[in-house]
Structure 1
C-alpha cells in the first residue's frame, strides 16, 4: 500500500480510525488479527541438526563404514584413529556453523520498547509490540519510531533515516500528500519508518504497518535465507561426490578380483578398506579450514575482520564490487569545494576589511562549539562554518561584533533560514537557502546578474555539488512583527557555496587496481544522480561512454530481461531502495559473476547477506549490517577491500597448492595399493600407515603452504573463474602422473625387499611414500619457478614443517614404543639410505617438468 499517496482523511477511512485514535477494545481485536508488532525470526537450527549436517557428507559416511568394518575385523587401532579424525573434522565445522546468524536479533533490538498512543481519546504509554494499524501516536526528539507511520502533524520534525535508506542527511517531515507512486523511501517525506530515529522536533502520526509488514520487516524477511556456499566449497563438494563413486567402483574391482584369485574374504575386505581410506583426503577439510583461519588472522592486520571463514577464499573469485559511496569511497564529511561571490555588491556589508560571503557563512547557522572545542550541529552547516573558520572567519568572534538578535528558522515550505544581526545602527538580515528559492527573492539590482548566477550554480550542480546561496537585506530597525514572506523579499545576493563529500584519495588508486585485476567496481548509493555521477567520474568508476548510470526509478521500469541485458554495463546506481540493491546483486550473479557488496545500513543487510561476500563498515556500520556480512572493514575504507582481495587471491592460490599436494599423495597411495596385487606383491601399506601419511605428512607441510608469498602478478590477472573445474587442465594431469610415479617408486622398493628377502620392506615402502611427498611439496611451492630460484629459505614455516615431519617419521620408526602401534621396524643405515635416495626421484621429476614447460612456452 502506497500510504504516501493518500491524504490524511483517506488514511483514516482505510484504517477505520480518526485523529483521536482507537478505543482499547478495538485495538485489542486488531492485535489478535494482525499479531504483535514484532520482527519475527526464521526457523533456527538445532544443535543436533548442525551435528547431523556435519556428519552427513558422503566421504565422511564412507569413513564411518570403514571404521565399523575395521572394528568388526578386530583392528580397533584403525577404528579409533578413523573415528578421531571424523570427530575432529565435525567439531571444526560445528563451531563455525554454531556461530549462527544474529542479524534478526539486531533488527529486533532496533525496535522501540514503548510508545505513547491515543487510546479512548487519552494519551497512554503502551508496549510498542501492542501497536496496531490505526493507532495514533505522539512522537518527539529522541524517540525511535516504533512502526511504519503516516505523519498527520509535525513541528520542525527531522528524522535520521540513514540506517534504513542510506541517505546521510536528516529528513524534514511534512504531512502533504505525495503524488508520485514510485518514490524511494528516502523521498517519502510524509512517512516514518520503524527503527529510524527522530533527531529534532515533535509530531503526531498514525500507524499504517506493523511487524513484518513494515519496511524493516521486509528487510528481515529478505535476510532469512540460507548462507551461500563459496566457489571452492561448491567445487570440492562436487569433486567429493565423484570421488566417492570412483572409490566404491575401485574397491569393488579390487575386492572381486582378489576373491576370484582365491584370496580370503576378510583379507580382501581390509585391503578394500585401506584403499578407501587412502583415496579419501580426510585431512583436506581441516587443512582448508585452518588455512582460512590463518588468513583471517593476517587480514585483521589489514583492518579486515572476517566473520565467516569461507569469505577469505571467496575474495579470490570476486569479479564485481558493489560499494556504497558515503564513507567508503568518500571521507563522509561535507566539504565546501567551490564558492562564487556576486560581483556588483552594493557595499561591503560587514566592513571594508571583511569578506561578505565568508562572514555570512560564519554567522548564518545554528552551529555550537563545545567546551572541548568540538563543532556540533547539522553536517551541512558544519561544512560552511568550518570553511569560513579555515579562512580566518571564526564564528564566536564575528558574533561578538555582529550579535544575533533574532532568526527565522528553516522550514520545508520556505526552504531558507534568516538571521538578524546588529551592526551599529543598522540590522543585517542574512538569508541562506537553495538557489532556486533565493533567485526568486532578489531585488531588481541583481536582475542583470541572474543569468550569471544560474550558469555558475548549474555548473556546480552538474559537478555533483550541493549549492547553498546567501543574500542580505539592511533594515533600519528590528520590525515589531516578523513576517517571513515580507522580510525575505527584495534581497541582494552575496554569493553561494558548493559542497560535496569528497572522494578518498586512496580510493582512486584502489579503483584503478580493481580494474587491473579484472574486477568491476559499481557504486550503489542513496544520493542523487548528479552527485553520484560526479563522484564516480572523479574516482574513475565511470571512464567511458559505455559506463551507464541508472536511478532507482529507472530500474523499477525495467523488466527482468531488459535489466539483465544491461546490468553488466551499469557502473552507478542512484536513489535505490533495499529491494533494488538485492535485485542488482542477483542480476549480476545470474550472469555468472561473483559479487562483493559493501554497506553500513539496515537497508544494506539483504544485499550483504545474498552477496557472495558481504562487507560491512566497522566504524559507521549498524549492528544489523555487521551481523549480515561475511567480513567487516575496520577502517571503512574502500582501499582496504583491494588489500583484502590481494590477500584472498594469495590464500586461494595456496589452497590450490595444498589440494594438489594432498591429492597427489593420495593418488600415490591408491596406485601403490591397487597395483600391488596385479604385480604379485603384498599390500605395501596398512590402513594406519595411510592415515599417518594423510594426517601428518599431508598436514604439517600442507599448512606451511599457506605461508607462501603472493606471486608478483597476482593483481594483474583476472579473478578465478568460479565455473572452472578446480581439477581441470594441468592439475588433474599432475595428480595422475606424479601419483603414479610415487606409487611405482613405492612398489619398486617393495619388490626389491621381496627379491632380497629383506623383512624391512613394508617400513621402507611406508617411508618412501612419506619422504616422496615431502620432496613433492618443496617442488610445487611455485608452479613455474624452480625451488632454487624462489629460495629454499623463503618460506621458513615450510622448513619447520619438513623438519617436524621427518622427526616424527623417525620417531615411529626408531622409538620401540611406536613400533607395534604403527607396525614399523627400525631401519639399518643401508636400508635408510636406499629409502632416502628413492624418495628424491619425485622431487627431481617435478623440477624437470617445470624446465620442459618453460622451453615449450618459449618455443610457442
Structure 2
C-alpha cells in the first residue's frame, strides 16, 4: 500500500450515487473530457495509495508450521523427550522426537497446500485499466488507478474501481459477487435521491471486481483499494480470526493438559514411594510411568486419520481447507442451502406454454441438448394424463404456435452451439442469459432455431435491450419476402407478464386477433385476470414465467430504423401471444439427500432469491416441506422481508424456524445463522458470492461452491464443493460423522492401553527388591513399544473404519459433548482396568506361583541369574498386554455391538489396515521375546515357555468380559439410534403448519 491519505481524506461512506456528474467532477477536481494530468495522478497515488486489496501477504509457511507444533500434547511429548535424554535414555528420546517431527511434517504439508490453493483474495482485481490521462486514452496497471480518474469499460472487462457513471451504451454488469443477484444489472445515469439505497439498486454506479456483461461505459473513479465495496468485505474478512480452534482441538488440548498433570502427579508418587531419594533407577521408573500415561501416537493418528478423510472427501468432490475443521461436520444439526445450482441443476428448461385458444403445451427434454417433443394438452394442464395429449410434429403447428416460437427465437441474444473440439466434439454448449438459453433450446425442439430463421432471410434491424425499469426486451426484424407477400417488418417482445400485457392492445387466438380496447375496459380486465391466473398456476409449479408478444411494424419513409426509433412509441399496440414456463429442475439426488438428512436428525433450510411460489414448489419437490400443504400463511415459508422484519425475540418465540426463505439477501442468511446459534444448534451455510462471505464465516461450517463460487467465498469457507451439489454436502456430513466416530474409537483404544499400563506400573510400586527399589512389571522400552508399535497401527486402522450402517440414522452428536462422552470415558477406564488387572495378574502369578516370590536385586537395570524370574514375569506381562491391546482393537469397532460375532468378524476383512496391524502386532511379540540380546539387554525380559498359557487364559477372560459388559450396556443404556425418520419429520411439519394456520384463522374470525 502507499502512504496514508493526508491532504484529501475520502469518506468511504460518501453517497456518490446521489451526486450529479457535475458534483462528482467538482468533488474530485477532475474533468470527464480531459481526465487527470499525469502529475496529479502521481500525487494522488501518494495520497490514496495503490489500488490493491490488503491481505495477509500470502501464506506464511512458518505460521502454518507453528500451528503444528504449538500444541499442548506435542509439548507433553517434548517434556518426555527431554526427560529421556536427561537420563541418557537416548533410544526412547529419539523415538519420541521422531514422532513429533513426523506429525508436524504431515500436518504442515496438508495445511500449507490447502492454504496456497485458497490464497486468491489479492488477485480479484483486473490487472490493467483504461483511463483518460492528459486528454489521452491510456492503459495503466490497475493498481495505479486513483479517485478522480476517468475510467473506460468495455464488454468483458473486470471493473477495477468503484465509479460514478457519466456515459453508457447498453451497459449491463454482473454484480453477483456483491449482491447475489444472478441476472445482469442494466445501468442508468439518473441521479438517485435515497442515500441508503441498496447496493444492487445504485444503477448509476459500477463496483470494483464486477464484470461488464454487455455494452460499454465511462465513469469517474470514486473509491479505490480497501474503500471500495469489495474492499469493505475484505476488511471484514481480515478482522476474523481464521485460526480459532475447533471443538476437537480444544478437547485434545484439554486431554493433553490432563495427561501432563497426571504424569507429574505419578512422577511425584514414584519419588514419594522411594522417600524422594533420587537415583537413575528411580528416575527411569518415573519416566516409564510418565511415558505410560502419554498417548504418544495420538497426535500422529489424529492427523493421519484426518488426512485420509480429506482424500476420501476429495473423491466425492468436497475439498477440505483445513484438517481441523473436518470433525465439525459430525455435529451439524441444520443445513442452510441455496437453491440454484445446489438443490437444482442450474439449467433452465422451458417445460410449459399457454396460448389463448390453444391452451397448454408440454415440452419434454432437459439441459442444453435440444432433444425433446412438444405436446398440446388443451385448456386443462393434464401433465399426468398423456393419453389426452397431442404431439406437435417438429416444424409444424398452428400459425399462432409458430408465431409465438418465432418471437421466442428472434427476441433472444443467446446462442446454442455444438463444440468442435476433438475431445468434446458434438457436445451442446450455450452462451448467454439462462432464460434466453432455455428459449433457444425450446425453439430448436420446435424446428425454429434462430440460425435457421436468419438463414431464411430474417434480419435484425434494431434492438431495445432488457431494462430492469421496464422488465422487457423487444427487437425489430425484417422478414423475407415470399411468393405471395413482399418483405415486411415485425416487432417481437418478451418480458415480465405485467409489463408486456401493458403494451398489448390485442390478443391472438389462432389466426384471429381480438381487440382489448373496450370503452369500459371490461374486456381487458377479464382477459388480464385470465392471464394472471394462468401465470400463477405455472408459478405454483416452480416455473419462472415469461410473456411473448408481437406486432407488424409499418415502416415510415425517411425514418432511421436503427437510431431514429423511440422505445415508448415502438412498444405499443402489441398483440399478446402466450406464456412460457421455465423450470430449473432439482437434481435427481437432492430429494433422497434431504430425506437422508431427516433420517439423521438434520433439518434443511432453503435460502433463495426466488419468488416464494417458485421456491416453495422446488422445496416440495426436494422434500424440504411436505407436498400436500398450502404455502398460504405457512410458517415454514417466509419471504426475507417477513423474516428480517422480526426482531430476535420474535424469532426466538417461533416454535420452528422457517424451512424456506424466499427473496433472500446476504443479511438474511447471517440473521438465520444467528437465530440457529441462539437455539444452540450447529449450522452449515452454503454460498458462492462475495456477499455470502459473512454468513459463511458466521456458520459453524461454511461451504463454498467450487464451480460458481467466488474466490472470496472460498477463502471464507471451511469446505469447497467442486460440483456445487447438495448431495455432496450430505456425503460430507456422513464422512464427518464417520471420522468423528472413528476418532472416538481409536482415542478410546489408545487411552485404554495407557490406563492399563498405569495400573500395572502404579500397583507394581508395592513390590520392592532386596535394595527396596520398586520392581518394574514392564520396562520403559516395553511401554514405548506397546504405545507406538503395538497400539498405534491398530488405532490407525480404527481411524479407517468404514461407516457403520447406522451412521446416518443417529442424531447429531452434541457440540458440547465433544470427543469424550460419558460412555467413551466409562469404556476407557473399564477396559483399561480389566487389561491392566489381567496383565498384572499374569506378572504376579509367574513371580509368586512359579518363582517363589524372588524379586532379585537391580533387576530393572540388567539381567542376572537371580533376576530370571522377574525377567520371565515381565515378558509374560508384556505379551499379555500386547495380546489384550490387539484384541481390544476389535472391541473398539463398536461401542455396543459384539466385536466377536461372526458378522462383525466377516466385515473385518474390509479394513485391511486393521486386521493386518493386529496380525503383525501379534507376530512381533515373538522376535521381541526370543531374540537374544534384544530381549534381555533392551526390553529387560527373557524368553517364555509355559507362561504362554497365562497369556491365552487372560485373552479368553478379557474377550468374555468385554462381551458381557456390552450386553449389560445394551440392556441398561439408552439406544443410540434415531427413532424419527423422513416421513415422521414430514408429519411433524404438517402438524405444525396446521396448528399455526388454524390459530391464524381463529384470530381472524374473532377479529371479524
TM-score, with structure 2 as normaliser: 0.79
Question: Match for 1:149 among 133, 143, 163?
Answer: 163
1:567–1:588 contact (8 Å) kept in structure 2? no
For 1:283-311, what per-residue CA distance to the aligned partner results, in whole angstroms no more than 9, with x for missing partners?
A: 11111111122223233332333332234
Q: Does 1:676 align with 2:690?
A: no
Aligned to 2:411: 364
Q: Does 1:804 align with 2:920?
A: yes
1:582–1:610 contact (8 Å) kept in structure 2? yes
1:317–1:722 contact (8 Å) kept in structure 2? yes
Query: For residues 60 and 308 of structure 1, do their structure 2 counterparts lie closer, same or farther at Cα, with a shift above 3 Å needed?
Result: closer
Report the CA distance between 1:365 and its aligned residue: 2.0
Question: Match for 1:487 among 563, 570, 583?
Answer: 570
Report the CA distance between 1:480 and its aligned residue: 4.5
Question: Match for 2:305 among 267, 288, 291?
Answer: 291
Q: Does 1:226 align with 2:242?
A: yes
Aligned to 1:546: 635
- What CA distance in whole angstroms lies between the structure 1 residues aligned with 2:348 and 2:620? 18
- What CA distance in whole angstroms lies between the structure 2 residues aligned with 1:462 and 1:179? 37
1:91-106 map, 5 Å: 91-99=105-113, 101-102=115-116, 105-106=119-120
For structure 1, the residue ranges without an aligned partner over 5 or more in a row are: none
Question: Match for 2:807 among 711, 714, 732?
Answer: 714
- What CA distance in whole angstroms lies between the structure 2 residues aligned with 1:521 and 1:527? 17
SS for the counterpart of 1:238 is helix
1:500-539 map, 5 Å: 500-527=583-610, 531-539=614-622
Query: For residues 395 and 506 of structure 1, do their structure 2 counterparts lie closer, same or farther at Cα, with a shift above 3 Å needed?
Result: same
2:779–2:940 contact (8 Å) kept in structure 1? no
Deviates more, 1:581-590 or 1:268-277: 581-590
Deviates more, 1:191-200 or 1:468-477: 468-477
Report the CA distance between 1:732 and its aligned residue: 1.5
Query: For residues 233 and 187 of structure 1, do their structure 2 counterparts lie closer, same or farther at Cα, with a shift above 3 Å needed?
Result: same
1:357–1:496 contact (8 Å) kept in structure 2? no
SS for the counterpart of 1:410 is strand
Aligned to 1:822: 938
1:416–1:434 contact (8 Å) kept in structure 2? no
Query: For residues 660 and 351 of structure 1, do their structure 2 counterparts lie closer, same or farther at Cα, with a shift above 3 Å needed?
Result: closer
1:550–1:570 contact (8 Å) kept in structure 2? no
Query: For residues 248 and 567 of structure 1, do their structure 2 counterparts lie closer, same or farther at Cα, with a shift above 3 Å needed?
Result: farther
Aligned to 1:109: 123
Deviates more, 1:325-334 or 1:613-622: 613-622
Question: Match for 1:793 among 888, 900, 906?
Answer: 906
Aligned to 1:253: 269
1:367–1:375 contact (8 Å) kept in structure 2? yes
Report the CA distance between 1:822 and its aligned residue: 3.3
1:304-315 map, 5 Å: 304-315=318-329
Query: For residues 223 and 530 of structure 1, do their structure 2 counterparts lie closer, same or farther at Cα, with a shift above 3 Å needed?
Result: farther
Aligned to 2:431: 376
Report the CA distance between 1:117 and its aligned residue: 1.9
Deviates more, 1:287-296 or 1:362-371: 362-371
Q: Does 1:419 align with 2:481?
A: no
- What CA distance in whole angstroms lies between the structure 1 residues aligned with 2:435 and 2:355? 19
For 1:543-577, what per-residue CA distance to the aligned partner results, in whole angstroms no more than 9, with x for missing partners?
A: 573325342x6666666666666697143445555
- What CA distance in whole angstroms lies between the structure 1 residues aligned with 2:920 and 2:351? 62
Query: For residues 667 and 132 of structure 1, do their structure 2 counterparts lie closer, same or farther at Cα, with a shift above 3 Å needed?
Result: same
Query: For residues 350 and 18 of structure 1, do their structure 2 counterparts lie closer, same or farther at Cα, with a shift above 3 Å needed?
Result: farther
Report the CA distance between 1:354 and its aligned residue: 5.2
- What CA distance in whole angstroms lies between the structure 2 residues aligned with 1:443 and 1:561? 51
For 1:317-374, what per-residue CA distance to the aligned partner results, in whole angstroms no more than 9, with x for missing partners?
A: 11222222221111112222332212399xxx99749533223222332344546464
Aligned to 2:393: none
2:458–2:480 contact (8 Å) kept in structure 1? yes
Query: For residues 375 and 837 of structure 1, do their structure 2 counterparts lie closer, same or farther at Cα, with a shift above 3 Å needed?
Result: same
For 1:505-544, what per-residue CA distance to the aligned partner results, in whole angstroms no more than 9, with x for missing partners?
A: 3212212222221222223334455544443344233457
Query: For residues 381 and 728 of structure 1, do their structure 2 counterparts lie closer, same or farther at Cα, with a shift above 3 Å needed?
Result: closer
Deviates more, 1:349-358 or 1:409-418: 349-358
- What CA distance in whole angstroms lies between the structure 1 residues aligned with 2:891 and 2:73? 29
Q: Does 1:734 align with 2:827?
A: yes
2:73–2:253 contact (8 Å) kept in structure 1? no
Question: Match for 1:833 among 949, 958, 966?
Answer: 949
2:835–2:884 contact (8 Å) kept in structure 1? yes
Report the CA distance between 1:617 and its aligned residue: 2.7
For 1:172-205, what per-residue CA distance to the aligned partner results, in whole angstroms no more than 9, with x for missing partners?
A: 2212234455554334333222112112210011
- What CA distance in whole angstroms lies between the structure 2 residues aligned with 1:344 and 1:61? 79
For structure 2, the residue ranges without an aligned partner over 5 or more in a row are: 1-12, 360-395, 420-427, 507-513, 517-522, 769-773, 852-868, 977-1008
- What CA distance in whole angstroms lies between the structure 2 residues aligned with 1:666 and 1:61? 18
Aligned to 1:766: 878
Aligned to 1:236: 252
Deviates more, 1:291-300 or 1:569-578: 569-578
1:350–1:356 contact (8 Å) kept in structure 2? no
With a CA cutoff of 8 Å and minimum separation of 6, indicate the structure with the bigger relative contact order.
1
- What CA distance in whole angstroms lies between the structure 2 residues aligned with 1:343 and 1:558? 46
Deviates more, 1:66-75 or 1:698-707: 66-75
SS for the counterpart of 1:505 is coil
Query: For residues 52 and 709 of structure 1, do their structure 2 counterparts lie closer, same or farther at Cα, with a shift above 3 Å needed?
Result: closer
- What CA distance in whole angstroms lies between the structure 2 residues aligned with 1:370 and 1:437? 31
Aligned to 2:74: 60
For 1:567-598, what per-residue CA distance to the aligned partner results, in whole angstroms no more than 9, with x for missing partners?
A: 97143445555566455445534543322222
Aligned to 2:994: none
Aligned to 2:528: 450
SS for the counterpart of 1:199 is strand
User: Is the helix fraction higher in 1 or 2?
Assistant: 1
Q: How many pairs align?
A: 855
- What CA distance in whole angstroms lies between the structure 2 residues aligned with 1:721 and 1:152? 57
SS for the counterpart of 2:778 is coil
Aligned to 2:992: none
Aligned to 2:817: 724
Question: Match for 1:319 among 333, 350, 358?
Answer: 333
- What CA distance in whole angstroms lies between the structure 2 residues aligned with 1:669 and 1:479? 103
SS for the counterpart of 2:804 is coil
For 1:402-440, what per-residue CA distance to the aligned partner results, in whole angstroms no more than 9, with x for missing partners?
A: 623523332426532123234642443322232222222
TM-score, with structure 1 as normaliser: 0.91
Aligned to 2:24: 11
- What CA distance in whole angstroms lies between the structure 2 residues aligned with 1:45 and 1:405? 53
1:793–1:799 contact (8 Å) kept in structure 2? no
1:708–1:795 contact (8 Å) kept in structure 2? no
Question: Match for 2:216 among 202, 225, 230?
Answer: 202
2:400–2:577 contact (8 Å) kept in structure 1? no
For 1:101-144, what per-residue CA distance to the aligned partner results, in whole angstroms no more than 9, with x for missing partners?
A: 35884122221122122334433322211222222211111211
* Alignment root-mean-square deviation, CA: 3.2
Q: Does 1:779 align with 2:891?
A: yes
SS for the counterpart of 1:236 is helix
- What CA distance in whole angstroms lies between the structure 1 residues aligned with 2:796 and 2:720? 25
1:103–1:624 contact (8 Å) kept in structure 2? no
Report the CA distance between 1:276 and its aligned residue: 1.4
SS for the counterpart of 1:816 is coil
For 1:826-845, what per-residue CA distance to the aligned partner results, in whole angstroms no more than 9, with x for missing partners?
A: 53331223223223332221
- What CA distance in whole angstroms lies between the structure 2 residues aligned with 1:697 and 1:28? 69
Query: For residues 469 and 821 of structure 1, do their structure 2 counterparts lie closer, same or farther at Cα, with a shift above 3 Å needed?
Result: farther
- What CA distance in whole angstroms lies between the structure 2 residues aligned with 1:200 and 1:514? 42
2:76–2:256 contact (8 Å) kept in structure 1? no
Query: For residues 329 and 50 of structure 1, do their structure 2 counterparts lie closer, same or farther at Cα, with a shift above 3 Å needed?
Result: closer
